[in-house]
Structure formats: C-alpha cells, structure tokens
Amino acid sequence: MGSTTGQIFRVTTWGESHGGGVGVVVDGCPARLPLSLKEIQADLDRRRPGQSRITTQRDETDEAHILSGVFEGKTLGTPISIFVWNKDTKPEDYRDIKNAFRPSHADYTYQAKYGIRNWMGGGRASARETVGRVAAGAIARKLLKVRAKIEIIAYVKRVQTIEASVNPSKVKRADVERNIVRCPDKATAEKMIRLIEKIRKGGDSAGGIVELVARNVPVGLGEPVFDKLEADLAKALMSLPASKGFEIGSGLAGTYMLGSEHNDPFVKRQGRIRTRSNRSGGVQGGISNGEDIILRVAFKPTATIMKPQQTVDAKGRKVTLAARGRHDPCVLPRAVPMVEAMVALVLADHLLRQTTQKG
Amino acid sequence: MGSTTGQIFRVTTWGESHGGGVGVVVDGCPARLPLSLKEIQADLDRRRPGQSRITTQRDETDEAHILSGVFEGKTLGTPISIFVWNKDTKPEDYRDIKNAFRPSHADYTYQAKYGIRNWMGGGRASARETVGRVAAGAIARKLLKVRAKIEIIAYVKRVQTIEASVNPSKVKRADVERNIVRCPDKATAEKMIRLIEKIRKGGDSAGGIVELVARNVPVGLGEPVFDKLEADLAKALMSLPASKGFEIGSGLAGTYMLGSEHNDPFVKRQGRIRTRSNRSGGVQGGISNGEDIILRVAFKPTATIMKPQQTVDAKGRKVTLAARGRHDPCVLPRAVPMVEAMVALVLADHLLRQTTQKG
Amino acid sequence: MGSTTGQIFRVTTWGESHGGGVGVVVDGCPARLPLSLKEIQADLDRRRPGQSRITTQRDETDEAHILSGVFEGKTLGTPISIFVWNKDTKPEDYRDIKNAFRPSHADYTYQAKYGIRNWMGGGRASARETVGRVAAGAIARKLLKVRAKIEIIAYVKRVQTIEASVNPSKVKRADVERNIVRCPDKATAEKMIRLIEKIRKGGDSAGGIVELVARNVPVGLGEPVFDKLEADLAKALMSLPASKGFEIGSGLAGTYMLGSEHNDPFVKRQGRIRTRSNRSGGVQGGISNGEDIILRVAFKPTATIMKPQQTVDAKGRKVTLAARGRHDPCVLPRAVPMVEAMVALVLADHLLRQTTQKG
Amino acid sequence: MGSTTGQIFRVTTWGESHGGGVGVVVDGCPARLPLSLKEIQADLDRRRPGQSRITTQRDETDEAHILSGVFEGKTLGTPISIFVWNKDTKPEDYRDIKNAFRPSHADYTYQAKYGIRNWMGGGRASARETVGRVAAGAIARKLLKVRAKIEIIAYVKRVQTIEASVNPSKVKRADVERNIVRCPDKATAEKMIRLIEKIRKGGDSAGGIVELVARNVPVGLGEPVFDKLEADLAKALMSLPASKGFEIGSGLAGTYMLGSEHNDPFVKRQGRIRTRSNRSGGVQGGISNGEDIILRVAFKPTATIMKPQQTVDAKGRKVTLAARGRHDPCVLPRAVPMVEAMVALVLADHLLRQTTQKG
C-alpha cells in the first residue's frame, strides 16, 4: 500500500529501480485538458539521471510513453497511464549489497517489513520511483496553469552552508534552469557547484534546502482539520526520498517572534483583501489566502557515499561497504523538479476538491 | 471534507467552538481493547483550557461521554462515538469580530471559501476542535500500549529563545507533567513560565518547539512512496493549529553534515540489528527501523493577542482590533497532548495497516 | 471499519441499538445549504418504530439533535453531527439470547468476527443503525432538490405475492404516505396490510420488493469502471439490513429479451437527446443519461419471528428460541425511507464528484 | 475517477479499447506470494476475444507483461503493474459511429459527461477494460487460495430461457471449462450454444444469468454497515459491463417465503457451528458465516447487434446504424472469468481488512 495519493486527482506510481520499468496512472484529471507528451518529457528531463557532472552517471533517457487517457491531444477524463522503461540497469553493481544493509538506506527496513526485497538497487525505495511522480506532476502543473494560471517554481536555496539570496515573488524558472545546480542566484550557484564537486571527489555527499514558491493560488484551497493545505503539502514533501524537514512561511524562524511581530495584517489592495506581510506563507487555518505559498524542504546528505562504511549483513555480521553504484553526491538539483511535482499534485487535488464545496 | 484521517484506524472529528459541542467518531479500532472513560478523560484534562495560569481562562471541564462502541469495558469493533458539550461559550466576546478578519486567523479564508462562517469564536478552526483528536488519541495510545508497549512522550523543547536540555530516550511523562509549561527540564521550565507570563502581561504571545519521542515502535511501520511514516507524521502534525514546521531525526541540522557524518551505521546489539546513531529519527525509507522516533514541531506565536491590531472587515474597511476573548499566550503547554495524540493516531493506523501486509 | 460511505459527501454512522444513542456525521456537504431540523425529523418520523400497527412497537420518538455544522439555518461546510438518544431499550428482552445465536441474524457472525458483541439487541447490526443513514439522507435529499430539483420516491411494490401496479414516472410521495404500508396503489395496499397482519398473528414474517424512482437526475452522474452509478447504488442498497437482491431498469426480466428488443433507441425530444424506452433504468455505461432512474430492492422476511425456532448457543448446544423482543413482521414499510436515504446519499456524492470532472 | 477499487488490496485499471493498451496496478498485495505470469495469462485466456465461435472475432492474444512488484517468482509487497498491448484494433469499423450514439451503449453518456470521447470503439466503457480486472483477479485468487484455500467458481446458469441445473457445492471448474459456453450442465450447454448461434445468425443478441460459488470462505469477512460483504460484492458485480441485477442466497425467490421458512437454523456439525440451510448465501449481517457464498448476476443482451437500429447523432439528427464491429452475441461465456475476478478482488480485500480487526 501507499503508492496512491490524492482524493480527486489520484496518482498511483509503480516500479522498482531494476525491474521492467517505472510509471504512473493518473485518475481524476478532468477531460479536455490539452496535453502533449512533450510537456511531460520536459519535466522528466529535468529529473533524469546523467544530466550533468554533479548528478549520478546512470544513463537513462527516461523516455515517456502515454498509453491511455489522452486522445487527439486532449485528456479523456479517463486514467492517464504513462510508463518509462528501465534501461541502464547494472544489477552487478549491487551484488555486494545483496545481503548487506547500506547505512541510512531502506535495505534493512524493507527486508524486515516484507521478508523480501529486490536487492538490485534501491528497489521501490529508489529515487527512480519519482519518475512517475514527476510525470504526474507535469499533468497537474498543466491543469493548474490552464485553470488558474498557477505557477510553481522551486530552486536550491542552500547546499550545506552555502545559502542563496532569492526573492520568491520574483524568481523565474529560466533563472533556475540556467545552471546545473538549479539555484537562481548565479554567484552562489557557482560556489554550490564547486562545493558539490569537492565533496564528491572526497567520496562524500551533501544536503541542503530546496525552497518553493507557488504564485496565483486562488483563495480557498485546503480543507479544515486534517486535510489542511500545509498538512497535505508537508506529507507530499516528506514523502520524497531523503527529506527530513518541512517549513511553511515563517517556519522555524517564526518561533522566535512575538505574536505582534508575526501576525500578517490584512489590508485592501487593488480591490482585493490581502496581507501586508506573508509570514503565513500563503495559508491560514489550512486554507490558501491568495498570497504566494512559500515553503522549504530539508534534504539530508545522500546516503550512498564512496567512502568505506561499517555495517552488518542480514545475519548481523559486520561488513565494510564502499559504494560502487552510480549516485548523486547531492540530491538537491534533481530534487527541484520532484518538489515542484509534489506541490503541483497537492494543489491540483485541492483545486478540484474545492469545486465540490462551493456553496 | 477533511475531517477524517486514517486508513484503518479512522478518526472523524466534528464541532465548532461555539456550537452544541465537539466530538469524534473512531471507526476501525479492533475489538476487545480494554477502554475506560477515565483514560480518555485524563488526556482531555491535559488539553483543557483553564488548567493553569499560563493557559486560556475559558472554563471548560471537557467532560467526555462515550455513546457507542464500548461494552462492559471493552471495545466492540464498532465505531466509538465520544462527545463533549460546549459550556463556557461567550459569543458576545466575538461580536466585534463578526465582520472583521483577525490577523493570521482563519476568519478570512473560511469566509472566502465557504461564504459563511460561525463568527462566534474560531468555529471549526478553533483549537477546541482538538478535543476530538485528543480523545481519539487516548484510544490509539491504549491500543499501541497493549499491542506493542509503544510509549509516546512529548514535551516543550523551546519557548521562543529559551531551550531545554532533554534526553529523549530517558524522559518520563511524570517529569513532563510536573510543571505547567510541560517541560521536563525543571530549571528551564521555570524560565519559560516567567517568559510566558511576561509576554502575556505585555498583551503579546510566544511560539516555540514541541519535541516528541516514541519508544518501542516495532520495525516495519510505514508504507512505501506516499504513505511513508514520516510523511503521515508530518501531515498529522502540520494539521494542528499554529504549526509551521516539522522535522524528524537530524532535521534541518542534518543538512549541514556530510553523508559520512550523517549516516547511521548498523550494528548488532543484543541479538537485534540496531543503528549506532539515530539521525534517521527512527525511520528509514519511510519505514520504522525500531529505534526511537524523534520529531519536532514548530508552533508560531498565538495569533490572538491583546495588543491593538490593524485589519479590515469583510468590505475591506480598516478596523482596529484588540482581543477580548480568552486566549493562550503560548499554545505549547496545551499542544503537548495534541502532538502526542496525532502521533498516536498515525502509529495506530500504521500498526494496523502493517498487519495486512505480512507475507 | 465500514461505517463511512461516500467520496465527497461523506457519511459516518455510529451507535448500537442498546447503547447511549445513534447518530451520524456528514462531512463534505457544501456550505450555505438551507437546512432545518424539521426536514431531518420528518424523514426520521417515517423511519421510526411504533409508527403503525404493522411495525415494531418499540416506542422511540427518535428526536434528532444537530450538534454542529449548521449556523443560522444554513450549513457551514463543516461536519454536520446529528444524534438521537436510545430511550425505549429493553435489554431484559434479550437476556435469553445472550448466549444463543438467532437464526439468520448477525449474532453468530459478529461473535465470530469480534469475539465480543453487545447482546442487548441487534447491536450494530440492528436496523436502529439506519437512524443515522436516514438523517444523512434527508440532508442529501435537500441538496439534490436545491441543486438539481432531483426527486426521489420509493414505495412498496410487492409484499410476498401481492404486487402493486405503479407508474414510476407519475407516482407522488403523498400517495405513498397515504397508507401505513407505503404502497401508492390503494387497493393493493389494503391487501398488503391484511396479509401482514395475518402473518404477524401467525407469529411469522414476510418479505417483498421496494421500488424507487429518481426523477430529474442530470446527465453525467457516475464514474467509469468501478464507481459506476448502478454499482454504487447496488452497494448502498445491499448494505441495508435484510436486502437480498438489487435490479436496475429491466433487471432480471431483461435477461429474457433479445438485444433488438432491449436496446433503448435514442431520439430527440424537446431539444434534448432522450431514449424512447427506458430499459437501461436511467444509467448507461455507469453514467446517468437523464431518464428516470428506476431500481428495485428485494427484502427477505424479517429474521425475528415469534414462532419457536431451533438453534445453538455459543458452545454449540441446542436451544429453542421464541422472540420476545418487539419486531417488524415485515420490514418494507419502514424500509421505504431507508431506500430513499441510501439513493440520496449516492446521488449527492456523485453530483459533487461530477463537479470535479467537468472539462 | 472511479478506476480504483479496494481498501487494502487496491486495484487500479487503465486503458481504452483503441489506445496503446490496457492494464492494471495492484497495490497492497502482501509480500512473498508465489506468483507466475502463467497464472495470470491463464485467466486472461479465458477472457480473451476470439476464443470460440460464440464470442467476438476480434483477435487479441492478450499477452500479459509484469513490469513491477514481482521478483524471483514472488511478490515484493510493492505495486504489481501488468499491461497488455492493444493489437487488433480496427478504428475504421467505428468511423460510422464517430458522431452517432449507439443505443444502450455509453457513447452518449460519456460524450455528455466529458465533452469528448475516444470514438474508436467503446473506449473506456469497452469490455476490453476488464483485461486489467481479470489480471488483478488472478492475483487475488492466488492469495485466497494460498491463505485460506478459498475456491471461486462461476458458470453460466441461464441463457435467455434456457436454464441449467447445477449444484453449487459440488461444481468443478473443469466441468465449466469443458464447453465454450461455460455451463457445467453438459446437455443444457449444448442447447445454450445452439441458441446463441441462432440468435447471432439473426443479427441479434441474448442475455442471461451467471451464478458463482465461493467455497471455504472463512467466518468473519465483511464489515458492518456500509461495507457489508454482500454490498461490496454487489458493487463489484454491478460494475461489470451489461450487468443489470444482483442476488445473494435466496435472492428474489426468498421474498416469496415466510420468515419461518427462510431462516437458516444453526446446528453444530463436525465441531463447527453451521447452518442447516443456506438461504443467507454465506453472509449474515454483512459478514461471512463460513457457508458457501452463492450469488447470481443478471446480464442484459449485448447492446451491439447487427440488425439496423434507429438512433441519433450528436446533433440529434436521426441515423440508422448496423454494427460492423466484431462483437459477442452473448456476453455470458466471457463474463464468467470477469465475475470470478470481481468476487476474488472483494474477498481478497476483505480477507486483508479482517486481519486488522482481530481483537
């Protein structure tokens, strides 16, 4: 269980890193949405391995196939099935770990939970699974754009200690995509790239922060109590591999403020009710208030490192591991499209849910 | 929508702060669990308003009534319905805000979403709604204790800048309950209380951090991909009023480390596979690994303050508000049982889900 | 589990026949629907025991209380909680069956499934549970009426061998309510009443057929594949106590026809596409086609009879039972509002689901 | 929406009759279930078109591919993705109906609901969609067999007026598969085949009844109130194309009996509590009682016929249609594996749900 998300815009991913392929079924996407393979492929290309010298060298073209749900360039209202073959699999790279548990990976927990695992790579816990999410996210993004001109942009905010200066309300996707680390602050981006390269040469890995802004979100998305917008966003983002923390608006920093400093006063601007500041991060009482949604996700340093590590095998015997598989020294550049995809899925779902509740 | 959570252990809360009452229906709790009203009431008493000089003075005894699902001291396997009357309601305190939108409250977003709201208090967005969550959480806690000896303890870790020193693997609930701020570090607790009193006198409010540990969690809880344990925990906790951030294990601090520093090496200890450190926070690949689950939730300073604030009314006209209602200058002491309840709901649900997947 | 139904218009019932009470929580009802207690009570009165000489003599006024979700006569968009006390309980009537399994009741299966049961009456399996369904159904009916002028009328079509002649497209609720058996064919109704009285005097019980028509259903309700409209209707109606069969449109009779006789030709009438006949029963490919929805539900004879019956107790020992409890000699008259309620729930849910899919 | 079923054993089908292919994702199947492609293919072969002279002549080999979730002959506990290419598509056969609405098909309702449809065949409403159901059903059947030795056998009970005599508690699958109409009563089967051939020659179609027995079902499957076992079975079966009615146990015939005749007395047999008769059809109070589950599904005559029919096009203009596409003159022989698959899905889901509720 657990491979489906969404109440209305329902997304089911499937696939292991070293099985036949990976894919997704999207059910509940409204009919007559213009949709092309090209739009989906564009996002998959931003996610795919081997795209730059600071990502894993596994060489997958990740070519998407749409098998159903689209007819003459438009959605049918029926499930959209998309799949991608696994091609550049190297199970032999993983033979060493067939019986060993890589530290801070899911090898041990999957083995303990299921009593079986596909040891040829990360299996279902591999970041390869996010192919399906990103493909579904591209559809969600299209829906959000067509219905409400919602724009979702994520970028690398910090790599380890190197933090970028970015204005969320102004940042453009073109600026994010201009460099391989996906940080729109050009000077900082170069430092980040150098840091990642240095860390990789040391056989190690780094973590950091991805920040995201969603603009033009209409007022009213999110449901009271358990399905608050920030709750669903938190779940979506904490479901990404390697994420360890989530913040919205003022986040942790807000806990140091007084209520009188933190509250966002309401004002009327251009005929609309707005807030003067945006420490709420675009959500109040679990419901979007029309301001930019701003959130951050913390990613730990990649668990796979080239340095030798002590661990144990299934029988508890000590073993020393050194990764031979191809891996990302820092997941953040490739996490950017994943973060966007997950936020798009949540917003698309709530946009459709909202249509059912209008009085 | 949005008032139900859980796949198997399904919890539905209902009620507005100033309607007839608040309550909860729990469906999916296994049969023959010993359950007494006393156990539920004990948690409600920790949540109730008016319990100390640093909480709101609204005087609710919050007496729970079990209407179904329990027979001769045991659960029947049928829905457990619990309700609590609203007694000390003062709608006249809210007449001023009938048409005004309190800053950083849900007044505006509810009005915009639904075109109607119960303006006598916070309505559905009020923290009063958590009565139902805490009652359900008490049932979940009992189930977790009986089935797996799981112990869940939350405490106030930081109020604004005052941070406690607590060892999560050793902390006891008695130490948490020993003072009114619910911080087990006695010396720091006193400082926190003084700070909250000072802030309240200034007509202001404070935020901070609640930390939680869950001990004896069996290996294997959590589902791959979207329903990872940390994802469901994040959702549950970000659904609490005033929460702005969530971390598990190393959290944000982990993003400053190298992979070689961050990874948790596996070792064999007392015949079991364990990790030497616990930066994973008890969850790997979305599945519990048997170590303590450790997480933190950031709460913003309470939105309701006594200081006058500028805002607008439904027509966008400027108004000045000063709270007359009773409120908490700092939500953290009362948030402690809420955080515990939400974690209990997630763990109970995953404990039951796990029974379906054993090969 | 199993006490919640609906994807959007979500209904959760709770309560045992001999616990504190019974009730329902409706989440997902759109805001600003005018709703009065009177409307709900009217349907409960049609369902309540003791309403006539051919129903059970248990004397419950079944007075409903709305505890949340309604404010100044309109729905808030938040969960609507309704409850009804259990008053006229006679647990002593059931002491004989504390350890015995009544034939064709749920005593044995509940005991086997849960290892515990509330033996004071039917517990959760009692028809008393339908109080919550009927209350929720009244809300759904109101929504369907306000939104789409949908009208739902059920009536007793057959009691044992006595069958009424009714024109579904013309029948009026007033005609149904004119007599205590709820059959709009007046002459037949009298025969039915006499039959039921005779059977009751013999200490026995009878079954039959309830037929329902839903008029003004818009085109487009229902979802492909698993959530077809007739599938959800079948589930809803087969979930009622004592139901053994379901038909839509031509039903079983249609299986004797040739395709050329059975097909409903499309025609244009008053500017709309219609079908000349309606053997489809208002649904094609799982989606409503704008014609009257016509369906039938078969109810078995009530399991509780006054005649002595052989059965066994929990230890498998033979016992002879004769009902002492009050019971309905024929469930059909009281099943009429239940059937209407269930159909209303399904249509309300699909009406709201449909809003999410419009291209 | 609507392409997913099941709470734990979750099945999502996708695909149109004339798109790239059709398939299914099964999430929630427990790990380590032995599973081979051969087992799935065997059921698909019983469903596939072109298998005999009384089924459609569309020639699809329906070769299944398992893309994920199975590793070294066992399930992984992760989603199992299976797909089948569409090969023998003849869109040109459908060009005539591009703008016309075939009587008693889903052309009109899909067009009205979505404003678009894949007119090259039945699209999502085609019986071709059941490929995914049958593949998932094969997995469910395997699970039921391994876990509980449950055996599910369906067969053609009646074609139009020709009814077979079959003993549900004795019937064997081999007897069902011995002839092309899938009726285990050999003499009647021949009559049925002759009738179907005659009707086909007349350009017409026939309906009838499929009966099913599930043996060795453990006591305790099914949930109170809305998710009663017979309710979920009814929904599953009424979701099959062309089904118009559902009965369990005594069904419609039971409505003519008195309670004293209809009730199933409990007895003790071989140390177990059993019922002497089985008018309940293996389910009491929505929960299986350990007796054989016996149910029947009514299928209407196939809507596609060769005889010319009057209908209208999208603009309401009269048109005359005569099918050119290949079609089944009687769906029943191919419906047999579909009925088995749907029942297997429901039982597998409830078998797993039951594990969560044991006290």
CA distances from B277 to A16, A313, B56, B167, B192 (A): 29, 17, 40, 14, 30
Contact B359 D78 (CB under 8 A): no
ipTM given for this complex: 0.97
Q: What percentage of chain B carries pLDDT values higher than 70?
A: 99
d(CA D206, CA B289): 58
With contacts defined as CB-CB under 8 Å, which chain B residues touch C67? 14-15, 19-21, 23, 83
With contacts defined as CB-CB under 8 Å, which chain A residues touch C31? 357-359
d(CA A92, CA A94): 5
Contact C13 B79 (CB under 8 A): yes
Of the candidates A7, A30, A78, the beta carbon closest to that of C358 is on: A30
Contact C124 B65 (CB under 8 A): no
CA distance D357 to chain B (A): 5
Check residue B324 and give its pLDDT.
66
C27 touches chain B (CB under 8 A): yes
Nearest in space to D39 (alpha carbons), one of D118, D142, D149, D159? D142
- Interface probe with C: pick from B7, B25, B131, most Cβ of C within 10 Å: B25
- Interface probe with D: pick from C13, C243, C262, most Cβ of D within 10 Å: C262
Check residue D359 and give its pLDDT.
55
Q: What percentage of chain B carries pLDDT values higher than 90?
A: 86
- Interface list for B 288-307 with A (CB within 8 A): 288-290, 298-305, 307
Q: Which residue of D has its CA nearest to A28?
A: D1
Contact A225 B105 (CB under 8 A): no
Contact B78 C3 (CB under 8 A): yes
Are D320 and D112 in contact by the 8 Å Cβ rule? The answer is no
- Interface probe with A: pick from B9, B11, B227, B239, most Cβ of A within 10 Å: B239
Q: List chains adjacent to chain B, taking adjacency as at least 3 C-beta pairs closer than 8 Å.
A: A, C, D
Check residue A359 and give its pLDDT.
55
Contact B77 C23 (CB under 8 A): no
A236 touches chain B (CB under 8 A): yes
- Residue C149, classified by CB atoms within 10 Å of its CB into exposed (0-12), middle (13-18) or buried (19+), is exposed
Of the candidates B3, B104, B260, the beta carbon closest to that of A226 is on: B3
C210 touches chain D (CB under 8 A): no
C7 touches chain A (CB under 8 A): yes
Q: pLDDT grade, residue C99 (50/70/90)?
A: confident
Check residue B90 and give its pLDDT.
76
Mean pLDDT of chain C, nearest integer: 95
Q: List chains adjacent to chain D, taking adjacency as at least 3 C-beta pairs closer than 8 Å.
A: A, B, C
C356: part of which helix (H) or strand (E)? helix C332-357
Average the pLDDT over each of A90-94, A248-252, B23-27, D118-122 and give the range with the smallest value.
Answer: A90-94
With contacts defined as CB-CB under 8 Å, which chain A residues touch B283? 109
Q: pLDDT grade, residue D325 (50/70/90)?
A: low
Average the pLDDT over each of A255-269, A323-337, D4-18, D153-167 and give the range with the smallest value.
Answer: A323-337
- Interface list for C 31-70 with A (CB within 8 A): 31-33
d(CA B214, CA B345): 12
DSSP E strands in chain A: the ranges are 4-5, 10-15, 21-27, 65-68, 70-71, 74-75, 80-85, 151-159, 162-163, 208-215, 243-248, 266-269, 272-275, 283-284, 287-288, 293-299, 309-312, 318-321
d(CA B8, CA B60): 32
Q: Which residue of B has its CA nearest to A131?
A: B225
With contacts defined as CB-CB under 8 Å, which chain A residues touch C355? 355-356
Burial D59-79 (b: 16+ CB within 10 A, else e): ebebebebbbbbbeebbbbbb
* Across D197-215, average pLDDT: 97
Q: Which residue of B has its CA nearest to D358?
A: B30
Of the candidates C104, C258, C353, the beta carbon closest to that of D206 is on: C258
Cα first-last separation, chain B: 35
Q: Which residue of B has its CA nearest to A300?
A: B255
d(CA B326, CA B90): 9
With contacts defined as CB-CB under 8 Å, which chain D residues touch C341? none
Are B314 and B111 in contact by the 8 Å Cβ rule? The answer is yes
Check residue C67 and give its pLDDT.
96
Are C351 and C145 in contact by the 8 Å Cβ rule? The answer is no
Question: How far is C-alpha D104 from the chain's CA centre?
Answer: 19
D79 touches chain C (CB under 8 A): no
DSSP string computed for A116-165: ----SSSGGGSGGGHHHHHHHHHHHHHHHHHHH--EEEEEEEEETTEE--
C322 touches chain D (CB under 8 A): no
Residue D309 reports pLDDT greater than 60: yes
The CATH number of the structural domain formed by A4-357 is 3.60.150.10
Which is it for the CA torsion C302, C304, C306, C309, positive or negative? positive
Q: pLDDT digit string (tens) for B103-135?
A: 999 999 999 999 999 988 889 999 999 999 999
Q: pLDDT digit string (tens) for B309-339?
A: 999 999 999 999 877 667 889 999 999 999 9
